[in-house]
Structure 1
Amino acid sequence: MDAALWAFGRGTGVVSLVALTVTVLLGILTRSGRPLPGLPRFSITLVHRNVALVACAFVVLHVVLLFFDSFAQLTVLDFVVPFFGSFLPFWQGLGTVAVDLLIAIIVTALLRNRLGLRTFRVVHWLTYALWPIALAHAIGNGTDGTSVWFLWLAGLSTLAVLAAVAWRVSARFVEFRSVRTGQLS
């Protein structure tokens, strides 16, 4: 049973990282107001939200499965206090920090209408910290973190996110507020 928990824990961690990567890419695309081939503009936001939900579900599965795995030997304190774990505390602590950031992002997303758009956006910018922290956790703490296939996956994910962020901060990135709000310029 422990082997199954360990395998599922590892697998859900990898799926979480891939889903978080896609979420970041779609989030940047959402801000541009541009469509994806085959999808209307409004559906990009829906796909972004749904992929983010999938990422969160897999993060929860990852944490819960490894909590019950006797090999991982995680305690409740490991989920709350970063850098306190007994096995690779720095890398495990990065995972705790990533989950804490994810919780902050989820809470503000759920309370978006009550907190206001400005607060939501400020906290949502934490995603740009969450993603590399989660990636570092996966490489440093993951069983497959230094496997060739995983390093390729991490490298491709990094290139995609860096390219999207570079586009986001470049002069070529134009937010189409009029497209999102239905106003014409």
Structure 2
Amino acid sequence: MSSDALWYFARGSGVVSLILLTVVVALGIGARSGRPAFGLPRFAVNLVHRNAALLSVVFLGAHVTTLLFDEYANLRAVDLVVPFIGNYSPFWQGLGTVALDLLLAIVVTSLLRHRIGVRAWRTVHWAGYLSWPIALAHGLGAGSDADTWWLWTISLACLAVVVAAVVWRTSAAFEARTDRAVRRVEPRLRAGIR
């Protein structure tokens, strides 16, 4: 594969990974209540959340692997683990390393969830919320397209989606909806009906 093809594939897979990670974070915010979110049943939200997360990791793997073989990026294997030591834009590349490391921790603990317990898994899983803004900043700072309108448009759209999910989740309408759902379920629980 030519160097140009590697570079374009690395850029594209990074952007696709960010978009998928945005979907994952938005669904995670919406599903955090344990109730139906975005008009979908809980199981559907969880299924899309999990599958989008897996697909995001696949594209992130493609992004990183491609950059390892690209002459322009000059990425070394150690740059994937240790942040802020890279040859190309160390700070912005380091943010990408931090986001990658956080996501790898989530993947590993998800695979070991039954061995480490739900509490430990959930604690690490919260790092997913931290990895998203770090990945967004990495793309805008390290990307060769940082000054292009299309990358800013995609990044601002991702930001808008996450902000909208947070606003919806913390809104009075969400709380009122939650209260109505609890009032419908409580009498049945007291009566022993499931």
Using structure 1 for the length normalisation, give the TM-score: 0.88
CA distance in 1, matches of 2:151, 2:106: 26
- Taking only the aligned residue pairs, the percentage that are identical comes to 52
Partner of 1:2: 3
What amino acid does structure 2 have at the position aligned with 1:157? Answer: C
Q: Deviations over 1:134-163 (max 9, x none)?
A: 000000001112211111111111121122
Mapped partners of 2:173, 2:114: distance in 1? 30
Question: Residue by residue, what CA displacement relative to the aligned partner does 1:79-106 show, whole Å, maximum 9, x if unpaired?
Answer: 1210001110000000000000001111
Q: Secondary structure at the match of 2:75?
A: coil
1:1-185 maps to which residues of 2 (within 5 A)? 1-32=2-33, 33-37=35-39, 39-170=40-171, 172-174=173-175, 184-185=185-186
Where 2:73 maps in the other structure, the secondary structure is: coil
What amino acid sits opposite 2:16 in the alignment? V
TM-aligned CA deviation for residue 172 of structure 1: 4.8
Deviations, residues 19-44 of structure 1 (Å, cap 9, x unaligned) = 0000111112222321444x433121
Residues 156-176 of structure 1 deviation map (CA, whole Å, 9 limit, x = unaligned)? 111211221233345554597
Structure 1 gap segments, 5+ residues each = none
Measured in 2, the distance between the counterparts of 1:77 and 1:94 equals 14
SS at match of 2:25: helix
Distance 1:103 1:173 in 2: 32
- What letter corresponds to residue 26 of structure 1 in structure 2? L
Hey, what's the Cα distance between the residues in 1 that align with 2:121 and 2:169?
18
Structure 2 CA distance, aligned partners of 1:35 and 1:78? 38
* C-alpha distance in structure 1 between counterparts of 2:123 and 2:163, whole Å: 20
The count of corresponding residues between Structure 1 and Structure 2 is 179
Q: TM-score, normalised by structure 2?
A: 0.85
- Distance, in Å, in 2 between the alignment partners of 1:172 and 1:117 is 30
RMSD: 2.0
Name the aligned partner's letter for residue 151 of structure 2.
Answer: F
For residue 84 of structure 1, give the secondary structure of its aligned residue in structure 2. coil
Output the amino acid matched with 2:36. R
Secondary structure, aligned partner of 1:70: coil
Letter of the aligned partner of 1:143 in structure 2?
A: S
Between the aligned partners of 2:67 and 2:159, the Cα distance in structure 1 is 25
Q: Which moved more, 1:159-168 or 1:124-133?
A: 159-168
Alpha-carbon distance in structure 1 between the residues aligned to 2:137 and 2:143: 9
